[in-house]
Amino acid sequence: MKRVALEQLPKEIAELIASAQRERVVITSNGEPYALIVGVEYKDEEDLQLEFSPDFWRMIEERRRSTVSIPLKDVMAELAAEDQRCREQEAGAAAKE
C-alpha cells in the first residue's frame, strides 16, 4: 500500500480527501466513474490490512459457510476462565515481590 502525507498534496486535493472522511467521493473520467475516495479516519492499521486481505476474506467466507458453531454461554465461560487465570497469575507474581 502506498502512503502519502496529506500535507504533501495540493490544497484542493487535500480538501477533497478531507471531505471523503464524511462522505464518499467519486472521481470521474470522461463522465464515467473512475475512482472512489473513501475516508478511513477512524480505522487503525490492522483494520486497513484486514479490509484488503484476500486471505482474511476467504477465511470469513469459509466460516460463514460452516455449520459448526459455539454457544455464547461456552464462549463466555471460556473468557471468564481466562480472566480468572490472568488474575491468579498476577496475584502470584505480586506475592513473589
User: Is residue 60 a part of any domain in this protein?
Assistant: no
User: Is residue 84 a part of any domain in this protein?
Assistant: yes
pLDDT in tens, 7-53: 898 999 999 999 999 999 999 999 999 999 988 888 888 988 898 89
User: Is residue 83 a part of any domain in this protein?
Assistant: yes
User: Is residue 40 a part of any domain in this protein?
Assistant: no
- What is the pTM (predicted TM-score) of this model? 0.47
C-alpha distance from residue 28 to each of 34, 37, 61, 85 (Å): 5, 11, 32, 56
User: Is residue 64 a part of any domain in this protein?
Assistant: no
User: Is residue 87 a part of any domain in this protein?
Assistant: yes
Instruction: Find the domain containing 80 and state its range.
Output: 70-97
User: Is residue 62 a part of any domain in this protein?
Assistant: no
The number of distinct structural domains making up the chain is: 1
User: Is residue 93 a part of any domain in this protein?
Assistant: yes
pLDDT of residue 85: 94
